[in-house]
Structure 1
Amino acid sequence: MDLGAIVEIITRLWDCSSNRVDYIRNLENNLNTLQNARNELKSIGQDVRREIELAEEQQLEPTNEVKNWLVNVEAKEKEIDLILQKGAQVTDPNNSCWKYSKNFYKSYKIGKSLPEKVQKVEELIDKRRSFHVAAQNLKHVPAEELPLETTTVGLESTFDKVCISFQDTRVGTIGLYGMGGVGKTTLLKKFNNDFLATRNQNFDLVIWVVVSQVVDIAGAQEVIRNKLHIRDEIWLNKNMDERAVLIFNLLKKKKFVLLLDDIWKRFELLKLGVPIPDTHNACKVIFTTRSEEVCGHMEAHRRIRVECLAPQKAFELFKEKVGEETLNSHPDIPDLAKKVAAECQGLPLALITVGRTMAKKEEPKEWERVIEILKSYPAKFSEDHNINIDELLELWFGEGFFDELGDVYEARKEGEDIIKYLKLACLLDRGETEDCVRMHDVIRDMALWVACKQGSESKFVVKNASMVADSDLAKWKNTERLSIWRSRFETYYWRPEYTPKPSSVLVRDTKLHRFPHGFFSYVQPIKVLDLSHNDNLNNLPAEICQLVHLQYLNLSYTSIRTVPVELKNLTSLRCLLVNFSYILSFPSNVLSSLSSLEVFGKLMIRDEVGLHPYYDENSFLQELECLEHLKDISIMLFKVESVHTLSNFIRVQKCIKYLWLHIPNDFKFTGHRYFSRLQTLRVTYCGIPDLNWLLHAPNLQSLELIGCDLLEEVIGEDFGAAEEEEVNWDAFESLKTLELRNLPRLRSVSPQALRFPCLKNVKVKYCPSLTKLPFDSSTAKNTLEFIKGDSDWWSCLQWEDESTKDIFSSKFQIIGDYD
């Protein structure tokens, strides 16, 4: 072998050995370099993960590039950790001789791999610098399909209204309202599911929340949180307000639809964290409620009433639930089915429930029995029957429903709150006038069904426009409350073996002209007796004194002319009403003997009654003044002397709720400062120049002035100046209705503009001198429904400014002959 070849071999061997020695010699330095690179990568990885977390809170989707990078980082970190662990073993400082003599091969192998690993880490670090965003693109969260009846028969037109309103860019909030069971929730579910199929491309998400009677803010927030996919570690450490802020910051960047089912009262969307829909964010909120009033409180831009079904649609829905097989099982059943469906009065809940019950009922007798049951629980009032609120409250009071309150005034307020609540729940509807309500037949049926323990006992019997037979009495033996309206009820002999012993008897608007034989003897436990609106009834027998437990007696709108002196024995009587009857006066000391009396009503309508020479109003007022428990009075006065007498009877003044003055003589009505409970005042054909004393009637709700030729001012300007320290110039704070008719000299209601915060309607007719109303731009700002009057009168009115005129012009209506 020549010398050159030997030199080459030696050189290569040296190079090889030298490289291996370098790997071993530089092992610690290279391990430190890799450790530093690994720490930098870990730090950058943590930053990226934090960016992802923040992005996900904003509902941003991480890019695939970032996802892959994080996967590679995680794998590389594990790989490097293993290498560093092995390197730590071979570089153990406890080796005292040649440092790596025992681990020469391992040291070489590890050292050789380190430069490559460092390079890979640096490449990953460089890769992070190459992408600019960790996350992008909004997540698309579609609506979730909700379980729904396969049919929505009869809701098509209302559904179209919802869709049209939804598409209107000016409408952000839509309120669907209607009575329970009418199909509001079904309609909202149909919209949700239809939205899923056809409209979701323009919105980021749809959220469904059930609110219910007691608003659960935390529960509603939880529903929204789940829809937004907010993770536990972000959500659980926050309180309710902080969660609202989190939800708000997520939703404000989205175009969302919020569907709220079953709202009973106003609540703030912002408490949930939901931004208010407007034309800027183009978001939508649709909610259901039983009350139109709640629609106002929730500031709905569009209110849509969900009505009961029309007869044809109602029958279609009913047939669908019964099934064709049952309907075709007997030739008589289709006609019977129409009658059953008609009894459900178009209420979807009733149609569905009864329809399912009648499925597989293939015997006509079964259908006939159902018709009989539906008609007897109970017989129907017409749907438009108006229930006078005052009469209803007085009946409740007579029944003892508010005994724990201990005061008829407090009882009336409690009753008004209950009626307001029932209206909010659409269990009562507004009547034709402000002082009335109505109840849908089906709701009434259901209420009586529940009260009678689902029809097992006839504890509540209502007969309307039907013949009452002797056989009915035996069936009513255990009746607690008996109501007979517009029925024939005058010829029966009430035998003790089958005479009902109810606590309440209402016999109204019948042909009754005398009481059935034995009536007062056999109904002695009775507490409530309502005989009103019986035009033919002209006699009240002395036997009424046997009703020693009687607390409520209503003889209004009857032809009774006198009451027996024995009436004084009814010392438990708390409510006595003889409004618009022919009763002129009471026998001496009868009224003052009714020591428990709290409510008394004696209004009249016939002019000649008040002018009767034997009618002694002074004695009548004096007896009322003696009643210590009297709290609620409705009376009509015809004589100037009575007005003067009333000024001395402070207790009577404080109790008057309804006052009707019909006094043709000229007089000044002064010295009356105690009308704190006066709610209704009617002044007809009185010779009175002003009504300044109304400044002492803070609870006045209705004011009606008719035919008062001398009346120039309701409240005079000089009166306010003379009694400035005593006068409450927040006059008419409770007034809801103002009616002015045939007042030729009336030129002013008040010398200054008033707020009228509760005023709903105004009627003015034949008041030519009234050229200015006490209104300014802040008057009745959110309450006024209409002002009715003649067009000529309206065109001549003077206004504070044009803007005020514009405000009230939108409320003006031409008054009709029957208004």
Structure 2
Amino acid sequence: MVSVLTDLTKQCVEKLINGAITEARHVFCFTCITKEFEEERARLEAERITLGQRAKVAIGRDKDIQANVCLWEEEADKLIQEDTKTKQTCLFGFCPNCIWRYKRGKELANNLEEVKRLFEKGEKLENIELPRRLPDVERYSSQNYISFKSRELKYKELFDALKDDNSYIIGLQGMGGTGKTTMAKEVGKDLKQSKQFDYVIDTTISSTPNITKIQDDIAGPLGLKWEDCNESDRPKRLWSRLTNGDKILLIMDDVWDRDPALDFDAIGIPKQDNHKGCRVLVTSRSKQIFNKMDCDKIIEVDLLSEEDAWIMFKRYANICNSSSKKLISKGRKIVKECKQLPVAIAVIASSLKGQQHREHEWDVTLKSLKKPASMHGIDDDMVGIYKCLKLSYDYMKDEKAKGLFLLCSVFREDQEISIEVLTRLCIGAGVFGEGYGNYDDARNQVIVAKNKLLDSCLLLEVSEERVKMHDFVRDVAQWIANKEIRGVNLSDKNQKSLIEKETNIRYLLCEGKNKDLFSWKFDGSKLETLIVHVDRDEGRRLMEVPNSFLENVMKLRVWYFSGNDKRPLSLPRSIHSLTNIRSMLVDSMDLGDISILGSLQSLETLDLVECTINELPNEFTKLEKFKLLNLEKCEIRRSNPFEVIERCSSLEELYFRNSFNGFCREVTLPKLQRYHIQKALDKMNGSIPKYLVFDADVDDACIFSKGALKYCMQTAEVLRLDGIKGEWKNLMPEMVPIDLSMNSLVELSLSCISELQYLIDTIGSQLPNVLSKLVVLKLERMDNLEELFNAKPQQSKDHHTAELPGVSFPVSIVDFSKPGATRDIANS
């Protein structure tokens, strides 16, 4: 019994002693605890920077970051910011404050364990990225949406019908331009925000449905990938995803009444009896299609009430009730002639915006709308509406805007069109005539014309760099063109036979399978612009363009060839007979040998996107009118393309994005008005005139010549260099003379440039105004960097900024001794 008590007493005493030693350590070993914490914190900080870099790369590749990574970063940042410098003393500073030391030492000891735990956890975070889904209807802005009183009941009826679990297919019917699509998207956004659906996805069907495009439109927001999936399995994969339990609303926009009807099975959309959480909203001009689809409910979108039509007109014409009575009277009469159709009101009212003090403009518009007109091929009930849109076109004073308007109607229905592509087509098609100046002048003219069409509501803005055309406005534009603009899907025999009878076609959109594209017969003697979309082909069979096809299109000025699977395309030697060709654009094709394109003496622009070519041929150096080259995500099998690019003396613009190959041993450039050179996954703003973004791999053999680097540093607005090889110790004056000042530069990001010691070395020379436009400066892992400026700045007492003569932005004082530290310097 005594021995048991002795053992218990011994254990208790040992625990008390060990506890006392542990607690005393917080006071007497405070310095050691602090030092150990700082060492472990430095390791955690390096891991935090590494993880941040990995996250940045993933985001640049359009990936999402796992939520646990963000939580880890927040916890790490909190510990990294822990203050270890502050100390408290007593007895006028002669003795440490033991009570404070005990509390602070205990905190640091606990935090030390937390730092170690986080460091180990961070090392285990290997795959931090997740595939990012494409946005669904949430991407559409509600800024221009008008909640009409006459439509409130229809809106609620549609909202309630889509909420009803007993309904599967809902139909929204109305004539073109009534606002069906706008209402469908707005209701869809409300349903998603109220958590009635997990996903609300829209896709445009149009008169010639493209099954592959529809499947891709639906799969994107769902995060569904098609890897290792052949054509026949795509509907099964999509059906499986749509019926896995998620609540999904599909908006099938602009479905036409056609034979055969839209086949849900071919797409992968479930039927009525097994749809589970999936629901479908169909918009159409035709009531017949809803009967064929067995809709559970059909909702009709009527024309606006007279009062709502007037409200819309006032908004778009920018007038109010305080305007003159005479102007309001004329406005109401114009609204009446617009037949209460939203798209017609928007177009006519926009054309009168800013004309409040020019009443004669309103008189001319009203008189033209009232004038009787007979329109060939237009139903009587649509004549007035067509007349409204045509009037807006006729009274447009800018011929270039008119040309751009017609050109936009050549593209697929509801297609988002890049401003850059429009620029290529406008130049090639001669919309701006032959004397348009340099290429950048032409781009500015496109932007001016585009803005006029946006202001007139004849085009819709998708983003700063993209536009699209309302399907009804597109119909009117093609009607205005009087059969000069045509579109054909070669799988539709009726369309094909109609086009084969036409003799006036100048602009042609052609869609179809490989075997049909070049075998059908049509009169191409007047054809100037040809846009070809090739259907997917599982076998990726070789496409050969026959000589007979080229002989039929001798006046061709623009050829836009879009594939989707990098199948081989063989261009015949007879292509040299296309003596008028100005612009050539090719997407996702294996072109192999393109040296024959060097014989196209009129060629001004060449765009190759996600294409494969053997090499950039020397023949291009002989093209005297060659102004623009775009190589984006291309595979170049051999030779250094820059050896050819350097010798293209007429080149004004170069876009070389992620197309570097193993032969780019040295990068050299001609003088250019605009360039985008990129070897990185960063998302870049296409409106920036000049940028160089280069992320060198560890074993990258690509070296920028000193001349090319100097040229870019002197002219670029954005410069991001990571791991660039070179022996220069400063940017100025070694790479850029002091007097050239680098005043175009807006962003400068440098990483892993080991030899650099200073950005600017001002010792022994007077510094003029430099870097006057710089907004962002980022420096990472610059091992030998000593100072930003090799000068003696005057330190401000009130602000942590360096006052340097000639430097017009505030420079943060940062600690350059920490490896891996990132420094951001921005205009305040």
Q: Same fold (TM over 0.5)?
A: no
For normalisation by structure 1, the TM-score amounts to 0.41
Larger Rg: 1
For normalisation by structure 2, the TM-score amounts to 0.40
